Amino acid sequence: MDLILETFRYIASSAFDVLPIAVFLFVFQMYVIGRRFPNVRQIAIGFVFVIVGLGLFLEGLELSLFPLGRLMAQQLTDPEFLEATRLTVMGELGWQDFYWVYLFAAAIGFSTTMAEPALMAVSIKANTVSGGAVGVWGLRAAVAIGVGVGVSLGCYRIIAGLPLEYFIGAGYAVVILQTTMAPKLIVPLAYDSGGVTTSTVTVPLITALGLGLAEAVPGRSPLLDGFGLVAFASLFPIISVLAYGQLAVLRHRADQPAAEIAVEQEEQDHAL
């Protein structure tokens, strides 16, 4: 019974998030465009699916993934656990003693990004627009690898206590360098993937990890060091997606003209 009530609560709150947008879109369509939407029924049903789906998804996360993720972040940064699995023989814990944290950070960053709904939306679109040249799975895997590496490196930064600006500055220098060399078509998509990753699933989990770490490591402040992980998680996907584009060019040099023709073809279709 509680569960059903709870489910309604989640669906109601997602309706509150979605409805203002829906109302704005309908009003704009009616009064500015001055025409009703084609197949209103289908769109209304689609909105119901979006609202119910988002509600169930968030409730499911609260029930399973979030408590589990927070618990594991806590357990992996527990002084007792760190003491038991350390690599260095004695004295204070060195940065390398946190190897399970790095592994977990990379694995959880990768896997939660694969499940990020906003990223799926962008990948589906990119796949259609590029005429299949950008694979749905390829793009998502590229972004997920970027987030995994980013979060892992971000954990290292918290533990080692290095300034955030060095990493972010160096990261953007790499982005600038890659932008000049990567195929032009991938660049806007790569820049977008930075913002897309920090959404519903990934942020709460990596924030929990960052806070746990900042509390476990002596001399770190949760307030000052907790936010760095999100910045890492938005920067590294840009690098990995640009790299994905560069790799694709290297591997399919012969296919590249075909992909460009597909894009041009679609452009012409729209123009007609």
Partner 1 sequence: MKSSSFALAKDALSSLRDLLPIIIVIGVFQVFVVKQPVSGFASLILGGLLVVFGLAFFIYGLKMALFPIGEALAHALAKKGSIFWLFAFAFVLGFGTTIAEPALLAVAAEASEVAVDAGVIAATEEARSNYALGLRLVVALSVGVALLIGVFRIVSSWSLPVMIIGGYILVILATTIAPAEIVGVAYDSGGVTTSTVTVPLVTALGVGLASSLKGRNPMLDGFGLIAFASLTPILFVLLYGIVLAWT
Q: Which of residues 189-248 bind partner 1 (CB under 8 A)?
A: 189, 191-192, 194-196, 198-200, 203, 223-224, 226-227, 230-231, 233-234
CB of 173 to partner 1, least distance (A): 10
Positions 131 through 150 that interact with partner 1 (CB under 8 A): none
Terminal Cα-to-Cα distance of the chain (whole angstroms): 56
Cβ atoms within 10 Å of 92's Cβ, excluding its own = 7
When asked if residue 80 is in the footprint of partner 1 (CB under 8 A), the reply is: no
Using the rule CB under 8 A, which residue among 70, 125, 174, 220 binds partner 1?
Answer: 125
Q: Which is nearer to partner 1, 189 or 216 (CB)?
A: 189
The DSSP annotation for 25-52 comes to: HHHHIIIII-SPPTTHHHHHHHHHHHHH
Q: Which stretch binds partner 1 (CB under 8 A): 30-38, 88-96, 151-159, 244-252?
A: 30-38
Using the rule CB under 8 A, which residue among 1, 2, 3, 90 binds partner 1?
Answer: 3
Positions 82 through 121 that interact with partner 1 (CB under 8 A): 100, 104, 107-108, 110-112, 114-115, 117-118, 120-121
When asked if residue 30 is in the footprint of partner 1 (CB under 8 A), the reply is: no
Written as one letter, the residue type at 87 is L
Q: Which is nearer to partner 1, 81 or 97 (CB)?
A: 81
What is the dihedral sign for C-alpha 62, 5, 57, 199? negative
Environment class of residue 88 by beta-carbon count within 10 Å: exposed (0-12), middle (13-18) or buried (19+)?
Answer: exposed
Query: CA-CA distance, 192 to 93, in Å (whole number)?
Result: 38
